[in-house]
Structure 1
Amino acid sequence: MNHPASHNPVPQHIAIIMDGNRRWAKNRFMPAALGHAAGAKRVRDIVQTCAEMGVAHLSLFAFSTENWKRPEEEVSSLMNLFMTYLQKEVDSMNTNGVRLKVVGDKTRFAPVLQDLIARAEQQTANNTRITLTVCANYGGRWDMVQAAQAWQQAHPGQTLQAMTEDSLAPYLSTAYAPEVDLLIRTGGESRVSNFMLWQAAYAEMFFTDDLWPEFSPARLQEAITWFVSRDRRFGSSAPL
């Protein structure tokens, strides 16, 4: 995919690894579930700020394929929180023009959660102000494997030699969105943790020590201001 070298307007696609909910709770002598609940409340402010700044796509890493390894009680509370979030927030999303997409391997979720996801996506499908993608049971490697499988199913008479980057891209789970411009990770870690490996190939990466429940709209604006100042050349030579 070709990218023009330029100074940047507001990023059109921001992806966030929301890290630090458990540490936020631990610092306050609270159970992890309350940290996740505090993190869920933070989402609304960040979605609203992105919409106000003209960001078209916001993708959030809510639950990775590796998160199933966490204690059963914590996984259960995360699933319940996800269901509660979908039930409580969908009307607000509609009012504010938010289109919801949930990407990841949804087959592992309980049928009631799968139904809630489908209904929320359908209810918000025609909204155009901002697209909020929640990545749940998602992994970047999973995404590339399922895309390759989908491509082969769509081209049963062709070998993998016929596959190109451009022909594979439409089968990625986020094919409806542009590639990630700005990837943000909270919580003080400096790794991408199997998140949007394909989509973030040319993303600018902003790392902050803020734990996710503390990540404020002001910090988001700081990240966007930093992004705008970057000279993004996508592998081309420096401007003269």
Structure 2
Amino acid sequence: MRVDVMRGAQLIPSARGEIARFRHRVFVQKLGWEMRGSSQCGMSEVGEESDEYDRDDTIYVTLRHEDAIVGCARLLPATQRYLLGDHFPHLVDDLPAAIHMGDGFDMGEGAYATPVWELSRFAWEPSQAEGFYVSHTKAQQATQGARELLRAAVFTASSLGARRLVGVTFVSLARLFVRIGVPTHKLGAAYRIDGRLVAAYRIDIDTSTCTALGLSCELTGN
């Protein structure tokens, strides 16, 4: 399994389109999302999923098996516009507190880390990874794949100076993170959207999270 990390500004059109088609397959075709793509981001062709948060400063994390995308996630700094703050603030009891962790630490050469990032568009497609987890059941494949993708996302966010991830997701996915061993804290009440329960959550990048994902806690900068 290969992990690729790319900034939006670095994506060539073919790579951008590949991510958008993967997201369309998972979110639109399988989960039944309505298309709310933004024409200004250049990814809203037929069979592709995108929105206004697919920007030049967006960080994309992808997992590949035999060169095909099997998982993807998106990271956005909470200092800029982000999905939870713009569209789902009602899911958070105290949004300012959720995204405030003090000043970011000095990363050297005059750069300061952004301590809170949003994790969104988290998607894993087990069928695309057949042959990688050969001894696993489908449920085990889904759990292991989600762990691998979350591990890659947390590692990437940590390398950017993040100490916390926030986001809105299905309650079922948050429960899966908990089963993996990652403390996942609900930020407010759950709501039913398009027939499925969703809620806002936070994941602190701390010793518990790093241990559950097999990461060095030195990544957190704490």
TM-score normalised to the size of structure 2?
Answer: 0.29
TM-score normalised to the size of structure 1?
Answer: 0.27
Structure richer in strand, relative to its length: 2
Higher relative contact order (CA 8 A, sep 6+): 1
